[in-house]
Chain A
Amino acid sequence: MNILLKILSFAGLALTVVPSFLVFSDTISFEMHTNLMFFGMLLWFFTAPFWMKEKEL
């Protein structure tokens, strides 16, 4: 379960940053980039809290 959550979280981070490089290389549109970033955000915040450790300090 934890591994699945981690995969989804990292997919969220990938959806946050990778589309911008695809805009830069003119592979996708700017609107597509903002939409993918939005889904990346949802994916990260709905999965990361379940596996990330407590703040140490």
Chain B
Amino acid sequence: MRKRFLENLDNRLDHIDEYEREPVPKEKLKGWRGFLGMYAGEHTAGTEFVIGALFVAHGVSAVDLVLGLIFGNLLAVFSWAFLCAPVAVKSRLTLYWQLRKICGQNLALIYNIVNAVMFCFLAGAMITVAATAVGLPFNIPMPGLDDWLPTSVGWVITVFLVGSVITVVAIAGYEYVARFANISFPWMFLVFIAAAVAVLPSLGVTSVSEFWPAAKDRIWTGEPVAGLTQFTFWHVMFFAWFANMAMHIGMSDMSILRYAEDWKMGFSSAAGMFFGHFLAWMASGILMAAAAGAVAPGYIAYNSAGIAGAMCVVIAGWTTANPTIYRAGLAFQAVTPNWKRWKVTLFTGLLTTIIACFPALVMNLLDFVALYGLVLMPMGAVVFLDVMFFKNLNLKSNFAEETGSKFNWAAGLTWFFTLTLCLAINIYGGVEIFFLGLPGWFIAVILYIGLSTFIQRKIKKDNTE
């Protein structure tokens, strides 16, 4: 009975990844509506409660915030539309299978492990966010900005409780959670807006005309919390641009956009950027200011919207942690093909829950999000060049598949040297992590073209001799 249940489960989970290893057929392509809804839902997540609040903690001014978010989000939408979508529509494959064709089985496997570990940290942050709301009725002390280690036994128990539920649901009911997330989005988004509007009087705002002066003097004051770096327009713009770097420039969203009828559907990401990464980030900044500088999402949401606010934090954390744990499980499964998927998901959930016990991750979420994008970005540049330009440059596309190689050294060295050079720019040039993605992408492009030209010419020469 149990065996049959688990077999059915594996079959169901396999069914979710249809067309993973083959191009999506024409009759399965989707229109604008699905993409707009998907992007709007995916980018109104539990972490939005933290990111907007951390901007306030880093002392960004109101003008810098608004302008930075407008320009940064526009650049993010352009990255989806002009980089990721054209590649996805041309290849119609998931990033992983495209990488296998270009980089070979072994390099794609290394990429997968790195990706899975990053997903675990991301899902861990979501569990931490949800736990800050679940712990409220039990008076569990919430972590603050300076907390890196678990703050109490009660906190650890709460995180394990939330992590266990999320893991079990990720194993047994992935499809239901995806549907539940879809249903939750309109309500979650309105909770963000309602919570922010309701606390405005406590910040001295009683009419629309009073909002901007209060925003400058009482919310985004330009004064960072002691010990935190001062954020400027450039920090906000680059953070908004690169917050999802792994998805657009890093090409992870090929998995979604390969279903698009047209590359222009990459512009549908604007729904996620301007609902989630503009309005929701501004709303959470207002909530933090109204909560006298507290950053625990559960607390600031309860303070402004009561039980509905706390529930919103739990649901936002849960609905985003679940697919992330599932995706991490998928990535780990490439390393352990003999393990059943439910076992891999269980292992991933446990690892993620342990990570979630440490508030350091959430309190340094801005740095982690920037690091996550940066680490995966070079391989996005590799895929972009290989799919879109290699034929024009007289270079061989899908090098590993064409030559039977299991490790494309041009791609591997591009990845390694790009990150090494970015680290050097960070250490010796003093450039903060938020800005490294831009020079990093150009470094990766130059390296990949140069190394591919060198390696492919050498192979050609060896073959003719």
A residues sitting closer than 8 Å to B (CB atoms) are 12-13, 16-17, 19-21, 23-24, 26, 30, 33-35, 37-38, 40-41, 44-45, 48-49, 52, 54-57
Contacts and interface: CB of A to CB of B under 8 A. Distances in A.
A52 B183 CA distance: 7
A12 B307 contact: no
B299 interface: no
B194 A17 contact: yes
**Best-buried of A19, A34, A37, A49 by chain B (most CB within 10 Å):** A37
B35, B37, B180, B186: most-surrounded residue (chain A CB, <10 A): B186
A12 B201 contact: no
A41 to B, nearest CB: 5
A49 B185 CA distance: 12
Contact of A56 (B30, B197, B307): B30
Contacts, number: 89
B225 to A, nearest CB: 26
Interface string B192-223: 01111110110001100000000000000000
Contacts of B183: 45, 48-49, 52
Contacts of B307: 34, 37-38, 41
B109 interface: no
B201 A54 contact: no
A53 B9 CA distance: 23
Interface residues of B, number: 34
Which of A16, A38, A52 is the most central at the interface, judged by chain B CB atoms within 10 Å of its CB? A16
Contact of A37 (B180, B191, B256): B191
Contacts of A34: 305-309
Interface in B12-65: 30, 33-35, 37-38
A19 B38 contact: no
Contacts of A44: 186-187
Contacts of A57: 30, 34-35, 38, 256, 259
A-B complex: 8 closest residue pairs judged by Cβ atoms:
A34-B306, A56-B34, A20-B194, A37-B308, A20-B198, A20-B197, A55-B182, A17-B190
B142 interface: no
A16 B194 contact: yes
Nearest to B38: A57
A35 B205 CA distance: 22
A3 B307 CA distance: 28
Nearest to B307: A38
Residue in A26, A54, A55 whose Cβ sees the most chain B Cβ within 10 Å: A55
Nearest to B255: A57
B178 interface: yes
B377 interface: no
Contacts of B191: 16, 37
Contacts of A17: 190, 193-194
A35 B306 CA distance: 8
A45 B200 CA distance: 27
A1 B309 CA distance: 30
A13 B186 contact: yes
A51 to B, nearest CB: 10
A55 B190 contact: no
A31 B194 CA distance: 14
Given A40-B308, A56-B34, 10 more contacts: A19-B198, A20-B193, A24-B205, A26-B201, A26-B206, A34-B306, A38-B307, A44-B187, A49-B183, A56-B38
Contacts of A52: 182-183
Interface in B125-149: none
Contacts of A48: 183, 187
Contacts of B198: 19-20, 23-24, 30, 33
Interface string B333-344: 000000000000
Contacts of A26: 201, 206
Contacts of A21: 197
